[in-house]
Amino acid sequence: MKRGLTLGVLILMVFLAAKLPDKIWHQPQHFPKPAFNFKERPLEMAKVQLGRYLFYDPILSKDNSISCASCHSPYNAFAHTDHTLSHGINDQIGNRNAPALFNLAWQKSFMWDGAINHIEVQSLAPITHPKEMGENLADVLTKLRQSSFYKSAFKQAFGDTLISSAQLLKAIAQFELTLVSANAKFDQVIQGTDTFSLQEQKGLAVFNQYCKTCHPAPLFSTYEFANNGLAPDSLLQDVGKVRISQLAADSFLFKVPSLRNLTYTYPYMHDGRFKKLGEVLKHYEKLFPLTSNNKSDLLAFLQTLNDKVFVFDPRHQFPKIILEANEGIKD
């Protein structure tokens, strides 16, 4: 009887171990509960990997020239730094600055104006945008179905070779959800494994006084919409959230960006108007009485939000395997 029980427990343990995914995602202890429902849609390694291939593969664009990573580079915390505005197929310039991608699991809506309500449907926007990847979903699926590499990657991830749009979208989302930035000096201080310098401490105090309401720790954003006093750009005429909601009260509201990884994610703001953090603080001088000491302390504190471990994490980088996979594809 007892032996039977032990055996049962053993079998159960083996079973659980087999079920347990590799540690693809874990909840940082000092983070709030994510907005994404991982219970309902657990991450699976094969799907995450497929998503990573797709994220880096220009096969998603009309002329096979632009991948998601063209605008969201891992070394820039998945933002884009060459241009203030995004840069798509046929050298077309878009209307907005490509945001950094991390901690997406905590966001309730996506895009600077909150146009997208779920991470799984976000990729539809760049894939079909004429100035981004300029493709249509049906053609992307046709290309993927012709690739033996993707046939087997989809089979591994989803158990069939259907290659449906839902599978494509879910896989990309699964990869993006693994992009968690929770390893900056700030995080170490919270966890008690590091300490702030005096200047960083002073910077934190300034931050708490003026910035915390919209950019609260540990995500450094409410991910709500706000107006931080930027003058509207006369050329782009970007009105922000009102474009989506059609409510006058939402005019010139933009999603509050996180302040993690700022060293990597320049230029700043929805239109990339500031190249340097100094310019950003100069802007905030108009709203808050920031002395020059305040500003240098603040800059020192913001540096503690840079997460090198995340930015150089090899698990998020270019998967060389797709080079072989695409040998057959001509532009």
Q: Does 66 bind ligand HEC (CB under 6 A)?
A: yes
243-247: long-range pairs with CB below 8 Å, 24+: 243/113, 243/115, 244/113, 244/114, 244/115
SS3 state of residue 321? helix
By CB under 8 A, is residue 283 in contact with other proteins? Answer: no
- Shortest separation between residue 121's beta carbon and ligand HEC, angstroms: 10
Cα–Cα distances (Å) from 185 to 35, 103, 207, 258, 303, in that order, read 24, 17, 16, 16, 8
CB atoms within 10 A of CB 61: 21
* Distance, CA of 98 to CA of 132 (rounded, Å): 11
68 binds, among other proteins, ligand HEC, none (CB under 5 to 8 A by kind): ligand HEC
273 touches other proteins by CB under 8 A: no
User: What is the C-alpha to C-alpha distance for residues 15 and 111, in angstroms, rounded to an integer?
Assistant: 41
Task: Indicate which single residue of 137, 230, 236, 244 sits in contact with ligand HEC (rule: CB under 6 A).
Answer: 230
Instruction: Round to whole Å and give the CA distance between 33 and 28.
Output: 9
| Residue 110 CB, nearest approach to other proteins (Å) | 9
226 binds other proteins (CB under 8 A): no
Contact of 255 with 114, CB cutoff 8 Å: yes
Least distance between ligand HEC and beta carbon 125 (Å): 7
Task: State yes or no: residue 103 binds ligand HEC (CB under 6 A).
Answer: no
Q: Per CB under 8 A, does 128 bind other proteins?
A: yes
Contacts of 293 (CB under 8 A, 6+ apart): none
Comparing CA positions, the residue from 52, 74, 69 lying closest to residue 174 is 52
Q: Which of residues 161-200 bind ligand HEC (CB under 6 A)?
A: 172, 176
Does position 72 interact with ligand HEC (CB under 6 A)? The reply is yes
Distance CA 64, CA 52 (A): 17
The size of the interface with other proteins (CB under 8 A), counted in residues, is 27
Footprint of other proteins (CB under 8 A): 41, 115-121, 124-125, 127-129, 136-138, 141, 164-166, 169-170, 173, 244-247
Footprint of ligand HEC (CB under 6 A): 55, 60, 66, 68, 70-72, 86-88, 94, 96, 98-99, 101, 104, 107, 110-113, 122-123, 126-127, 132-133, 172, 176, 210-211, 213-215, 226, 228, 230, 254, 256-257, 259, 262, 265, 268-270, 280, 284, 288, 298
